[in-house]
């Protein structure tokens, strides 16, 4: 302890966090973890909800799809929100909305009210990840960004791993409403702590809300997520509409949104500032994270199907299977942050991408004769390698931007990950369905499940190769901070 205190005293002034900054970051991290954990709770609960609410599987899926659609629509707007309002105002408002949605969901008498509650929860959730990343990159000195951002970026990765386990444990002993009831007091405690302790660290700007940009964002990103989420259902013949229709609408909407932002940027009042894409050091890590998120979210969807159909694991067993992944992410992120601060992104990103890809290809070789230990080993290695890439890519990208562009950069990062998550789920679920060679991927024999899983992991392996290529293009970290910044 003496050594630790002595080293803290000898830190240069410009390398220290200001008093109160750790509390701000810690409170945002805790709250973000809570709302992201909630996002993944209903996946395991879907069969229970289908029986209890007397709904079809396609209707029940909207409890997740509707949540994702809401996030896709709202996250691009968070750049404007973070410029226009104080940190404390944003935090308290967003968490209050989330609490209202949680109360409605817990008390929902039927499916429709539950869906409304989930959408309100998503409205409160949308701002948290961009707010956490933007606040951290503003407060933390560059020499310590690797270590702190490692903890920050681990939050979106740990929550999805722990969500199914917690859900499975709760549903083993309690009704599904307790998934919301147990979250409620934690959210209220976070709200009270924020009201008492959180201070404002930014000065709001005179930004105006461009209604056309908001509409184009909602149409473009919302339709894209909807279309991508329908691909998996279309492969099994259960989609309510052809996925190409919303995808085409989404592409037109996004292109129109980008053109509108380019027009507004000439007046200095863009809804999402396109200057962030003028930095190669922002764009390349963003593309790498696109492929990482594609596989990261997609594998979390198909892996439980494989473990159930091939190894016969129960819901609770699958949840417990995923828990060590969260521990691995925490450990690797903490160690990786220190490596980043000392040697930059290359010693983490390139080996991480190679090991990540190799572990996915290993998983593609497993079958019904493979043990749970083999699947777990492959999953943990994959998770560790993914954590090696997540922190350096996020930190490198945001550090390439000037301070006033942080909200736009973090909003873009979160939007891309949201779209990639929807696309990854669609692609790997479709590959799983095609590999099964059956019309209904939900009722497969053991051999069909093995074939489906191998096809899905092979597809993921091909996607992972693109991430390896991307990490080779990130270049060395420059010694000067200023020459990394996006020009005006």
Query: What 3-state class would DSSP assign to 413?
Result: helix
| Pairwise CA distance, residues 395 & 401, whole Å | 10
Mean residue pLDDT of the chain comes to: 81
**pLDDT given at position 480:** 39
> For residues 418 and 300, is the Cβ–Cβ distance under 8 A?
no
- Domain layout of the chain by residue ranges: 17-484
**pLDDT given at position 131:** 86
**pLDDT given at position 482:** 37
Over residues 138-158, mean pLDDT: 75
Query: What 3-state class would DSSP assign to 55?
Result: coil
| Pairwise CA distance, residues 127 & 415, whole Å | 11
> For residues 279 and 486, is the Cβ–Cβ distance under 8 A?
yes
Query: What 3-state class would DSSP assign to 379?
Result: helix
State the alpha helices, DSSP H only, in 312-405. 315-343, 346-363, 372-399
Question: Cα–Cα distances in Å, from 249 out to 83, 126, 337, 357?
Answer: 29, 23, 40, 33
Query: What 3-state class would DSSP assign to 242?
Result: coil
Question: Considering only CA atoms, which of 190, 129, 201, 31 is closest in space to residue 421?
Answer: 129
**pLDDT given at position 9:** 42
**Residue that wins the pLDDT comparison between 73 and 112:** 112
Over residues 90-105, mean pLDDT: 95
pLDDT digits (tens, 9 = 90+) for 316-356: 787 788 888 878 887 888 788 778 878 888 888 899 999 99
**Structure token pair of residue 121:** 């929860």
17-484 has which fold? Growth Hormone; Chain: A; (1.20.1250)
Q: Is the dihedral of CA 247, 253, 258, 261 positive or negative?
A: negative
Question: Cα–Cα distances in Å, from 420 out to 126, 247, 355, 416, 484?
Answer: 16, 14, 21, 6, 26
**Residue that wins the pLDDT comparison between 293 and 68:** 293
197, pLDDT greater than 50: yes
**pLDDT given at position 149:** 78
Query: What 3-state class would DSSP assign to 486?
Result: coil
Identify the weakest region by mean pLDDT among 104-118, 365-379, 389-403.
Answer: 389-403
Q: DSSP letters of 182-239? A: THHHHHHHHHHHHHHH----S--------HHHHHHHHHHHHHHHHHHHHHHHHHTT--
Question: Considering only CA atoms, which of 155, 166, 39, 171 is closest in space to residue 105?
Answer: 39
Over residues 388-414, mean pLDDT: 83
| Pairwise CA distance, residues 195 & 230, whole Å | 41
**pLDDT given at position 459:** 93
Q: DSSP letters of 145-193? A: HHHHHHHHHHHHHHHHHHHHHHHHHHHHHS-TTHHHHTHHHHHHHHHHH
**Structure token pair of residue 263:** 């027009």
Q: State phi, psi for 271 to the nearest 5 degrees.
A: -65, -45
| 91-94 long-range Cβ contacts below 8 angstroms, 24+ apart | 91/27, 91/28, 91/31, 91/131, 91/194, 91/198, 92/191, 92/194, 92/195, 92/198, 94/124, 94/125, 94/126, 94/127, 94/128, 94/131
Q: Give the confidence band of 475 by pLDDT, cuts at 50, 70, 90.
A: low
Q: What is the DSSP letter of 483?
A: G
| Pairwise CA distance, residues 123 & 163, whole Å | 19
pLDDT digits (tens, 9 = 90+) for 28-41: 888 888 888 887 77
> For residues 383 and 325, is the Cβ–Cβ distance under 8 A?
yes
Percent of the chain with pLDDT over 70: 87
How many residues would you count in the chain? Answer: 488
Rg (CA), the chain: 22
Q: Give the confidence band of 12 by pLDDT, cuts at 50, 70, 90.
A: very low
Over residues 253-273, mean pLDDT: 83
């Amino acid at each position: 302890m003496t050594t630790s205190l002595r080293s803290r005293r000898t830190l240069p002034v410009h390398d220290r966090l200001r008093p109160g900054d750790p509390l701000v970051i810690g409170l945002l991290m805790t709250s973000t973890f809570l709302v992201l954990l909630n996002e993944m709770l209903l996946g395991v609960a879907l069969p229970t909800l289908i029986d209890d609410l007397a709904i079809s599987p396609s209707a029940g899926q909207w409890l997740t799809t509707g949540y994702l659609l809401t996030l896709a629509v709202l996250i691009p707007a968070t750049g404007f929100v973070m410029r226009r309002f104080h940190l404390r105002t944003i935090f308290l408002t967003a968490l209050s909305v989330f609490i209202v949605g949680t109360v409605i969901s817990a008390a929902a008498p039927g499916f429709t009210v539950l869906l409304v509650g989930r959408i309100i929860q998503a409205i409160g959730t949308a701002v948290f990840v961009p707010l956490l990343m933007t606040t951290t990159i503003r407060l933390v000195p560059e020499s310590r960004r690797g270590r702190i951002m490692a903890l920050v970026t681990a939050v979106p990765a740990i929550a999805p791993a722990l969500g199914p386990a917690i859900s499975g444990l709760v549903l083993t002993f309690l009704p599904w409403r307790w998934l919301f009831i147990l979250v409620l007091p934690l959210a209220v405690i976070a709200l009270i702590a924020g009201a008492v302790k959180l201070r404002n660290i930014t000065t709001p700007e005179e930004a105006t809300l461009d209604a056309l940009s908001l509409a184009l964002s909602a149409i473009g990103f919302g339709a894209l997520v909807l279309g991508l989420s329908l691909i998996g259902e279309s492969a099994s013949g259960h989609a309510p509409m052809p996925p190409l229709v919303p995808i085409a609408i989404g592409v037109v909407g996004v292109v129109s949104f980008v053109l509108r932002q380019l027009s507004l940027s000439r007046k200095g009042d863009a809804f999402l500032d396109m200057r962030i894409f003028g930095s190669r050091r922002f764009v390349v890590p963003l593309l790498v994270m696109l492929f990482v998120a594609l596989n990261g979210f997609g594998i979390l969807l198909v892996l439980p199907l494989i473990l159930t159909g091939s190894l016969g694991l129960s819901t609770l067993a699958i949840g417990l299977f995923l828990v060590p992944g969260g521990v691995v992410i925490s450990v690797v992120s903490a160690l990786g942050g220190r490596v980043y601060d000392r040697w930059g992104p290359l010693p983490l990103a390139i080996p991480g991408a190679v090991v990540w890809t190799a572990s996915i290809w290993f998983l593609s070789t497993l079958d019904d004769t493979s043990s749970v230990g083999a699947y777990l080993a492959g999953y943990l290695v994959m998770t560790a390698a993914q954590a090696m890439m997540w922190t350096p890519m996020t930190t490198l990208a945001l550090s390439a931007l000037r301070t006033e562009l942080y909200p736009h950069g973090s909003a873009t990062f979160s939007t891309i990950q949201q779209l990639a998550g929807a696309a990854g789920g669609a692609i790997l679920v479709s590959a799983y369905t095609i590999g099964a060679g059956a019309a209904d991927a939900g009722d497969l024999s053991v051999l069909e499940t093995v074939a489906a899983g191998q096809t899905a992991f092979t597809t993921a392996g091909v996607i992972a190769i693109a991430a390896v290529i991307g990490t080779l293009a990130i270049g060395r970290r420059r010694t000067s901070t200023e020459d990394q910044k996006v020009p005006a």
